[in-house]
Amino acid sequence: MRKIKSRRKAQPKATSKRTTKAQPRVKRKKKVAQPDPNELFRRIHRELIDDFDEELEMEREDWEITESGGAAKPIASDADAKDRRQYFTELYRLQGELVKLHDWVVETGHRLVIVFEGRDAAGKGGVIKRIAQRLNPRVCRVAALPAPTDREKTQWYFQRYIAHLPAAGEMVLFDRSWYNRAGVERVMGFCSDTEYEEFFRTVPEFEKMLARSGVQLIKYWFSISDEEQEFRFRCRINDPLKQWKLSPMDLESRKRWELYTKAKEVMLQRTHIPEAPWWVVPGVDKKKARLNCIHHLLTQVPYKEIKHPPIVLPQREYHSDYMRAPVPEEIHIPQIY
């Protein structure tokens, strides 16, 4: 027995010697400035999971409810299940508040405009989708204007945006806006210096006019790092379902990162007014950016819950002479699934 114990004591010593010999090799590897392939894999995994989450959020009715009154159960195999469960729980709570805001806008005739600007791939579209997801599209509209036509180029610059402003009881989410002139048009040379300066003379007065007329204007700038934008662009390049998101302007903006930075700094400085201040949303963590932006939006509008009478489903009427005509079999779509 004594010999066996001595052997067992000797084993850790041999292991510790091998460990001390391996330490210099580990340190030398850390000095090489190479990306960690495991970390890259984890980031790609999180990006794919986020894409799945977007689809799952839209199909919440089909999810399994974990307990009475509990949150819908996310993918159980995900390592970040706890964080994702917290994200979904908070997202649904905030979306419930957005429904209350939506009802208040309709009830009071409030007019609300929310401008979303920022870097390409910064997450503007994801936030807009979550805001509008549970709301009536006739009340909450998304305005994402294409490039101006030849006719529109001859109009007053703000003219084509005015047509999309809300009437009473409406809210409009601008996925990019009149601030194109201060960003992409300036950097890409689509406007002259005279037009650029005229924009900065006009836009504060334009937004003050909106405020005086009773339109509430909230402006968000979504910010991400240089490295994070490159990562998201590469994910889009390699994903056939996302390649449509990459326009030639997006690729050009990647090359002109520093010019866009300068244009953004000038824009924020010259158009940050009390009637319509800018709010910056850090967007490296997309889920946190969504929650933070929606939470902030809710604090900017003085809404309150509108009480509605209980909804009663009327009984269907039956008539003795009613007969449903059969639908011809040839016009049914094939039942593949």
In three-state secondary structure terms, 24 is helix
Segment 40-54 mean pLDDT: 80
- What does DSSP assign to residue 65? B
Q: Is the pLDDT of residue 58 over 60?
A: no
Name the average pLDDT for the chain. Answer: 87
- Phi, psi angles (nearest 5°) of residue 76: -75, -20
Residue linked to tokens 């968000």: 220
Segment 191-219 mean pLDDT: 98
Short-list 97, 115, 99, CA closest to 215 = 115
- What does DSSP assign to residue 34? -
- Phi, psi angles (nearest 5°) of residue 267: -60, -50
- Phi, psi angles (nearest 5°) of residue 57: -60, -35
180-189 own/partner pairs: CB under 8 Å, 24+ apart: 181/157, 182/263, 182/266, 182/267, 182/271, 183/117, 183/260, 183/263, 183/264, 183/267, 184/249, 184/253, 186/263, 187/253, 187/256, 187/259, 187/260, 187/263, 188/249, 188/252, 188/256
Short-list 143, 137, 130, 176, CA closest to 298 = 130
- CA-CA distance, 292 to 215, in Å (whole number)? 23
Segment 256-279 mean pLDDT: 98
Choice between 138 and 7, residue whose per-residue pLDDT is larger: 138
State percent of the chain over pLDDT 70: 81
- What does DSSP assign to residue 11? H
The third-level CATH classification (topology) of the domain covering 43-300 is Rossmann fold (3.40.50)
Q: Is the pLDDT of residue 57 over 80?
A: no
